[in-house]
Amino acid sequence: MLRFQSRRLIRLATLVPILALWALSTRAKSSYFNARYANGPAPNASGIATILPADSGYIGMGQGYEYPFPNSAVWLVRFLDPDGRLRRQRAFGRPGYYYYPNFRNSLLRVRGGYAASGTVNVPNGDNYPMLWRFDARGDTLWTRTYPRANALAYNGCRTRDGGYALTGTAQIRASPYNGDAWLLRTDSLGRRLWEKTYAFAYAEEAFSIVPTPDGGFLLSGQVWYVTATSDEDRDAFVLKVDSLGNERWRRTFGAPEPYDGWAVVSVAADGSYLMSTCRATRNLNGLVQRRAMVYRLDPATGQTRWQRAIGPESYAANTYAIHELTDGSLVVGGVQADPTGATPVGNGWPVGYAFKLCADGDSVWYRTYRHFTGGRSHNYLRDFRPTPDGGFVGCGFLFGRAPDPVANDAWAFKIDSAGYQLPGGAPPTVRCPRVVGVAPEALHGATLEVYPNPAETSVTLTYALPAGVTSGEVVLHDLFGKEVVSFCGCYLWLMIAIFHCCTSCQSTDVIRNGKNTSGNAKFRCKSCG
């Protein structure tokens, strides 16, 4: 309740500077394609490991074997038009060297072009992390190879100062397998600034990295618990470090059943951390079944705010991407096994999958994707991203088996906002609600109470003024600064319908940290007599 204990006037600062609004998701007009791409005139293997929407279509980066150089593997950059047709292609490599690009968001858009991270295997057998910077046409501007033998780079991101951060595995020993999670920090020209390693158990692989609002980084991947004779178990891990790579906290995520999948991470607009993994559920005829999991984590401690299990269990399932959309909903992409016609029970053929959740974890839709549809062919998804038209684009590679064409080709596909590969799909039956709430961190240390929080129809606000204060006014403004309601007195309790807070909002309006193009939404207290 709002209790005023004296008649002294007071002017209070803004109490709550933000209202978080998640708009109702809507389906948008979308283009569609589901295409494969060969590597050169001969049936040489290739794939697209990561893909980005570009001004005139899409740009995908992957690998090509044996062409244009024999006994080698090159980085291939493919430029696609909006309908997925190949416009041009560039290769980076040299004979005798094997270049391995990173998957999942590792193709970065930078001023004047792009940057990509990966690993090169040199003729003597050593592996070195590397960073490649190229222009909008795919012409090389510079490359950097980092002198840490037998290290693998799996992912990269931009930093606040325009530099780069790469993550992967270093100090690798093959027998028995061992290695540490690894983080490399560079300047804007790819020059090494510092690097660090992190050990959890016997071996760690850091597959994902994102920058955090405090200037640090969030890493994730997989921990191996290994003996000299076997790899006994694997868990997902998440690691938070500061801007200098110093560890702040770590967590592992695993089921009693061994062989959990790795973790991938993202940062939500409210500052919380999003993580997805595939958790082991059971062993079926010697084949480990996994089920997709999504977690929302507290950024300060890594503790779980909520978790959800999504979709069916399947053999060898793994997650490759997680994104928060502009309306606060989440989308996840990965690979699972289709059990149709597979033996023994528990086996299956790889297909891509994606699913969408509301901000609170409620499931909206779950779909699977393939290019080859006949029997025993493999369809591997390696990246999945939102597109400007509200849809999504995915990529990976294909292993075709009869009756499909026998080919090892790159793969890219475009779907609509409801996850369909073709127009005419039924709208999802679950619609994410427009939710208004006050971010929990805004309430920390204050005597303001907001409940329920978040809310869909109405919200109750209470506030206790400091001791000795007897008079005050509470004013609620909408997104455009217009005063909606105010109260002044010695005893105040306010319940307001949410539509009053957004009388002029469109369904596509999104408020993050109290701001959008329409203005600010805030609660304000001021003096009154």
Residue 345: what pLDDT? 94
Greater model confidence, 490 or 113: 113
Which among 254, 260, 314, 253 has a CA at the least distance from the CA of 287? 314
Residue 18's pLDDT band (cuts 50, 70, 90): very low
Categorize the per-residue pLDDT at 125 as very low, low, confident or very high, splitting at 50, 70 and 90.
Answer: confident
b/e burial code for range 250-288 (CB count within 10 A of at least 16 → b) = bbbbbbeeebbbbbbbbbbbbbbbbbbbbbbbeeeeebb
Instruction: Please give the pLDDT value at position 458.
Output: 56
pLDDT in tens, 195-226: 999 988 788 999 999 999 999 999 999 998 86
Give pLDDT tens digits for 363-387.
Answer: 999 999 999 998 799 999 999 999 9
CA distance 453 to 449: 9
pLDDT at 266: 97
Per-residue model confidence (pLDDT) at position 452:
57
Mean pLDDT of the chain: 81
Name the strand (E) or helix (H) holding 442: helix 440-443
How far from each other are the two terminal CA atoms of the chain, in whole angstroms?
19
State how far the Cα of 238 lies from the Cα of 103, in Å rounded to an integer: 18
Per the CB < 8 A criterion, the answer to whether 170 and 154 are in contact is no
| 3 state SS of 443 | helix
What's the CA dihedral at 123, 125, 126, 130 to 10 degrees? Answer: 50
pLDDT band at 248 (very low <50, low <70, confident <90, very high): very high
Residue 233: per-residue pLDDT = 87
At 477 the pLDDT is 56
d(CA 59, CA 86): 10
| Locus of tokens 């039924």 | 426
**At residue 392, does pLDDT exceed 60?**
yes
Distance, in Å, from the CA atom of 48 to the CA atom of 59, rounded to the nearest integer, reads 10
Per-residue pLDDT at 166 exceeds 80? yes
- Regarding predicted confidence, which is higher, 435 or 145? 145
In this structure, of 2-11, 38-47, 464-473, the range with the lowest mean pLDDT score is 2-11
**For residue 352, with 0-12 CB atoms within 10 Å meaning exposed, 13-18 middle and 19 or more buried, which class applies?**
buried
Residue 41: pLDDT band by 50, 70, 90 thresholds? confident
**Measured distance CA(114)–CA(141) in Å, rounded:** 10
Question: What would the mean pLDDT of 49-54 be, rounded to a whole number?
Answer: 95
Return d(Cα 329, Cα 336) in angstroms, integer: 22
Answer yes or no: is pLDDT of 37 > 80. yes
Q: Which of 68, 63, 71 is nearest to 116 (CA)?
A: 63
The confidence band for 148, taking pLDDT boundaries of 50, 70 and 90, is: confident
Distance CA 264, CA 296 (A): 12
User: 331-350: per-residue pLDDT in tens?
Assistant: 999 999 999 989 999 999 99
81-118: pLDDT as tens digits: 999 999 999 999 999 999 999 888 789 999 999 999 99
Can you give the pLDDT at residue 474?
Answer: 57
Is the per-residue pLDDT at 442 higher than 70? no
* Residue 176: per-residue pLDDT: 60
DSSP annotation string for 333-401: EEEEEE-TT-SSTT--EEEEEEEEE-TTS-EEEEEEE-S--STT-EEEEEEEEE-TTS-EEEEEEEE--
pLDDT confidence of residue 449? 61
Predicted pLDDT of residue 206: 95
Per-residue pLDDT at 171: 75
From 40-54, 129-143, 375-389, the region with the lowest mean pLDDT:
40-54
pLDDT of 526 above 80: no
Q: Measured between alpha carbons, how far is 409 from 395 in angstroms, rounded to an integer?
A: 11
pLDDT tens-digit map of 279-304:
999 999 999 999 999 999 999 999 99
pLDDT of res. 354:
98
| pLDDT interval class at 40 (50, 70, 90) | confident
523 pLDDT band, cuts 50/70/90, is very low
| Percent above pLDDT 90 for the chain | 62
- Amino acid 436: pLDDT: 53
Helix (H, G, I), strand (E, B) or coil at 501: helix
Check residue 150 and give its pLDDT: 79
3 state SS of 56: coil
pLDDT band at 463 (very low <50, low <70, confident <90, very high): low
Task: Give the pLDDT score at 67.
Answer: 85
Burial category of 290 from C-beta neighbours within 10 Å (exposed 0-12, middle 13-18, buried 19 and up): buried
Question: Between these two residues, 436 and 504, which has the higher pLDDT value?
Answer: 436
Order the strands of the 483-488 sheet from edge to edge.
Answer: 483-488, 473-477, 523-526
pLDDT grade, residue 432 (50/70/90)?
confident
**Cβ contact 269:328 at 8 Å:** yes
Q: What are the tokens at 284? A: 């079926």
Over 70: is that where the pLDDT of 277 sits? yes
Q: What is the DSSP string of 319-335?
A: EEEEEE-TTS-EEEEEE
C-alpha distance from residue 136 to each of 37, 115, 324, 347, 490 (Å): 21, 10, 27, 43, 64
Residue 420 tokens, joined: 């369909």
Per-residue pLDDT at 11: 27
Across 173-187, average pLDDT? 83
CA atoms of 492 and 449, how far apart (whole Å): 13
Q: How many residues make up the chain in this entry?
A: 529
> φ, ψ for residue 273 (rounded to 5)?
-105, 140
What proportions of the chain, in percent to the nearest 5, are helix, strand and coil? 0, 55, 45
* Placement of tokens 């999991």 in the chain: 293
Mode of pairing for the β-strands spanning 519-520 and 46-54: unpaired
383-412 average pLDDT score? 95
